[in-house]
Structure formats: C-alpha cells, structure tokens
C-alpha cells in the first residue's frame, strides 16, 4: 500500500490524496474531491461554477490507469 499526495494537490498531514494498493491487481483510491487548492484555500466560495472548475482541475492531477478499461 502506497500513500501519496501528487504535486499540485493539498498536502495534508492528516490524510493522503491517493492510496495505491498492489497485489493480484492494482487499485487506486482517491480522496473525496472539493474545491480546495494546493494551499488549502477554498476556491469559489458561494460559486458552484468556480468550485466545479477547481474540482475538475484537481482531478486531472491524479494518476490514471495504464488501461482505461480497468476503471470501475
């Protein structure tokens, strides 16, 4: 099991943004997404559009599987 915080994501001492488990298969667990930037600041307070954009930008920084058909 590997805990990591990819560059550009909020680096918490309390939780990991990504946990990768390898065995017979490789599973990647990602943290719940919100509109927090890498400094831990909320982006777009009271603005759903800005919050959604922030979540999508953050989500693009997560690792992806080598075979997209492995995603459930």
- The domain spans of the chain are 2-62
pLDDT digits (tens, 9 = 90+) for 22-31: 888 888 888 8
Cβ burial 29-43 (10 Å sphere, 16+ → b, else e): ebbeeebbeeeeeeb
CA angle 13, 42, 10 (to 5 degrees): 30
pLDDT digits (tens, 9 = 90+) for 21-60: 988 888 888 887 788 888 889 999 999 999 999 988 888 7
Q: Could you give the strand order of the β-sheet that contains 18-22, starting from the edge strand earlier in sequence?
A: 2-4, 18-22, 26-30
Indicate if the pLDDT at residue 63 is higher than 80: no
**Helix or strand (DSSP H, E) at 48:** helix 48-59
Structure tokens of 49?
């559009």
Q: pTM here? A: 0.60
């Amino acid at each position: 099991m590997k805990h990591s915080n990819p560059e550009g994501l909020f680096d918490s001492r309390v939780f990991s943004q990504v946990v990768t488990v390898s065995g017979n298969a490789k599973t990647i667990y990602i943290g719940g997404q919100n509109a927090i930037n890498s400094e831990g600041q909320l982006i777009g307070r009271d603005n759903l559009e800005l919050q959604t954009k922030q979540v999508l930008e953050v989500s693009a920084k997560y690792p992806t599987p080598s075979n997209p058909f492995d995603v459930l």
